[in-house]
Amino acid sequence: MREISVETVSQVIEKLCIEANHSLSEDMREAFDHSVETEKSPLGRQILDQLRENMKIAQKEMIPICQDTGMAVIFMEIGQEVHFTGGSLEQSIHEGVRRGYTNGYLRKSVVSDPILRENTKDNTPAVIHYEITEGDKVSITLAPKGFGSENMSRIFMLKPADGIEGVKNAVLTAVENAGPNACPPMVIGVGIGGTFEKCALLAKKALTRKAGERSQIPYVRDLEEELLAKINATGIGPAGLGGTTTAFAVNINTYPTHIAGLPVAVNICCHVNRHMTKVL
């Protein structure tokens, strides 16, 4: 049994909060570079260049990439041979977020009650998803989620007879309704299957996959490519001002489901799609 101190978890999460909000991941930088070369609209290319320059300034000057530094979403993949010592794992995760947003001078955007709306002043609590895996490693993925794009996300409880065409229509409907509000170019996470809540989690986790990394399932890979082409043909474009780059990627996760249902979730992220991972 491998022992890991919960203080180590807090330290890692503090660092991830700061890094993810100041530096774009390598896959997203590559997506930006590629889009500047392929964007057909002069205005679209100008906007993409400005966005890319913003990323460079943010990293160099240690200024947040976006003023909305998001609500901290954390995926914990915990090996079953790991034992955490020194206190509560969950409290250590929240403590890491508190330190990261306080010491990193990041905007605190979380309210303690959805109706009363009093700010917690340290961006806690985080949203935490746990998964128990084999082995003695712990993978921590932090994904700060801004709500301009989060508010544009949708869940569709389709009928099995709607089939793959129904899935396509659902994703395109969500993207077209989002328009400029999700700060395009977007990354679109899609969850298909499971239950009401499972498909939403699948879509959220799909956003943490590297942009351009396709599914290993042949029909899903084809669907990702087809939807990306159709979304980029909508003409929404960078910042919603027209162009051929409305999305950088469409990432789809699937899961078994009930014979009577076809749940589909579409979780949209803006052009920064912040996510970073550390393995302990």
Are 247 and 230 contacting, i.e. CB atoms less than 8 angstroms apart?
A: no
Q: Which amino acid is at 31?
A: A
Q: Which helix (H) or strand (E) holds 250?
A: strand 247-257
Distance CA 192, CA 53 (A): 36
Distance CA 141, CA 222 (A): 27
Mean residue pLDDT of the chain comes to 96
Over the stretch 54-111, which tens digit does the pLDDT of each residue have? 988 998 899 999 999 999 999 999 999 999 999 999 999 999 999 999 999 999 999 9
pLDDT of residue 257: 98
> How much of the chain is helix, strand and coil, in % rounded to 5?
45, 25, 30
pLDDT of residue 26: 87
Residue with tokens 């939403």: 200
Q: Which helix (H) or strand (E) holds 264?
A: strand 262-269
Phi-psi region of 70 (alpha: psi -120 to 50; beta: other; left: phi over 0): left
Res 260 pLDDT > 90: yes
Which residues contact residue 16 at a Cβ distance below 8 angstroms, ignoring those fewer than 6 apart? 96, 100, 140, 142, 276, 278
pLDDT of residue 224: 98
Over the stretch 118-135, which tens digit does the pLDDT of each residue have? 999 999 999 999 999 999
The full set of domains in the chain, from first to last, is: 2-20+65-145 (3.30.360), 148-274 (3.30.1330)
Averaged pLDDT, 198-225: 95
Pairing status of strand 82-85 against strand 154-158:
unpaired
